[in-house]
Amino acid sequence: MALTERKLRILEAIIRDYIESAEPVGSRSLSKKYELGVSPATIRNEMSDLEEMGFIQQPHTSAGRIPSDKGYRLYVDKLMEIKQTANKNRVRIRSDILKKYGELEQLLEYTSRVLSEFTQYTSIVLAPQVKKSRLKQIQLARLSDETMLAIFITNTGLIQNPIFKIPADMKHEELEKISNFLNEEFAGSTLEEIEVRMADNLKKELAKFHNTVYALLPEMFKALEQVSDVTLYLSGTTNIFNFPEFNDLAKARSFLNLLEERKTISELISRQDSDYLNVSIGTENKIQEAKECSIVTTTYSLDQQTVGQLSIIGPTRMDYDRVMSVLSQVSKMMNQILKEQ
């Protein structure tokens, strides 16, 4: 069966209406509300076809139709056009974020908040991946007789301070020497590059330092990598209560449970490198508990390198136009802000 122009228009109307109302859409109300130029009976016939093709479905025999995941997919890929958020809003987003900008963490947290407030869904912001950041500066500082603090500052504004044990007999000057050496050697490199160099020829050069340093280095970089790979900022989790499809306690609970574990979240928002908007609809999600949700994800970059992600999660009945528009704008702004730094 062919997807005629008229079928597409009807499908679009159904999806628009359902996104707005959350109620199954009937033929009569459809013909009244939208100028389709045909009678309810005709719409019924078309709807019957659309159902057969899998784009819409009936909750029960005598109800209207609701879009299926396949329907939303078609809508997102072909029918929808991303609205340009009105200029006023755009400016407001911009200055809102800038106003609060201090450290990276605050920027991320605030971005997350802005995203959830603007979309009214739940937002997830992933901090820059350390792997892809360049080390800007390394500092070592003694904390106590047996511990030292390593400070890593990256080009993304990420600051990490892992703590390590060191031998009590290591002198202050020695620490400083090592610190200088590390800076000369590694500043400007990514972790990936460092790994390669570590495996290579570095061993000899390190030999001139205290033995433990050599043992410590891999540990240091590993710690750096691990800690921040899971750093994320959530906002608007309770917005889920605004949606009738989660009016069921079990569903609301399952959604919130999903978000309570970092591990599940990062499974959900699998790292992506493409810098365009990625949409995962309902059953396209791998995790069982998210089969009634849609997730829209985009990235933000620094130096042409994708470093982190911005996501919105909500019901499959999501206002894709708006969400995608807000996400793409906020992403552009983050790119700019990070560049300005």
Partner DNA sequence: AATTAGCACTCACTGTTTGAGAGTGCTAAC
Partner DNA sequence: GTTAGCACTCTCAAACAGTGAGTGCTAATT
**Of these partners, DNA, its own copies, none, which one is at the site of residue 42 (CB under 5 to 8 Å by kind)?**
DNA
**Of these partners, its own copies, DNA, none, which one is at the site of residue 249 (CB under 5 to 8 Å by kind)?**
its own copies
Provide the minimum distance between the beta carbon of 334 and its own copies in the complex, in angstroms, as a whole number.
17
Neighbouring-strand partners of residue 235? 123
Q: Which is nearer to its own copies, 34 or 101 (CB)?
A: 101
E strand or H helix at 245, and its extent? none
Residues that bind its own copies (CB under 8 A): 102-103, 136-137, 139, 141, 143-144, 149, 151, 153, 159, 161-163, 223, 237-238, 241, 247, 249, 252-253, 256-257, 260, 341
**Of these partners, its own copies, DNA, none, which one is at the site of residue 241 (CB under 5 to 8 Å by kind)?**
its own copies
Rounded CA separation 2/72 (Å): 18
Residue 80, φ and ψ in degrees, nearest 5:
-75, 150
Residue bearing tokens 């800076």:
183
Eight-state DSSP code of residue 301: E
Q: Which is nearer to DNA, 211 or 247 (CB)?
A: 247
Rounded CA separation 126/308 (Å): 5
Give the one residue of 27, 116, 228, 309 binding DNA; rule: CB under 7 A.
27
Binding residues for DNA restricted to 40-59, rule: CB under 7 A: 40-42, 44-45, 47-48, 51, 58-59
Number of residues near DNA (by CB under 7 A): 24
Find, among 233, 249, 231, the residue nearest to 241 by Cα: 249
Provide the minimum distance between the beta carbon of 279 and its own copies in the complex, in angstroms, as a whole number.
26
Give the one residue of 63, 91, 187, 287 binding DNA; rule: CB under 7 A.
63
Q: Which is nearer to its own copies, 25 or 268 (CB)?
A: 268
The CA–CA distances, whole Å, from 105 to 93, 112, 175, 225, 336 equal: 18, 11, 29, 17, 16
Find, among 168, 159, 157, the residue nearest to 138 by Cα: 159
E strand or H helix at 224, and its extent? helix 211-229
Provide the minimum distance between the beta carbon of 32 and DNA in the complex, in angstroms, as a whole number.
9
Rounded CA separation 126/269 (Å): 9
Residue bearing tokens 């958020």:
85
Structure tokens at 228: 């921040």
Neighbouring-strand partners of residue 220? none
* Site membership for DNA, residue 21 (CB under 7 A): no
Q: Which residues bind DNA (CB under 7 A)?
A: 24-29, 38-42, 44-45, 47-48, 51, 58-65
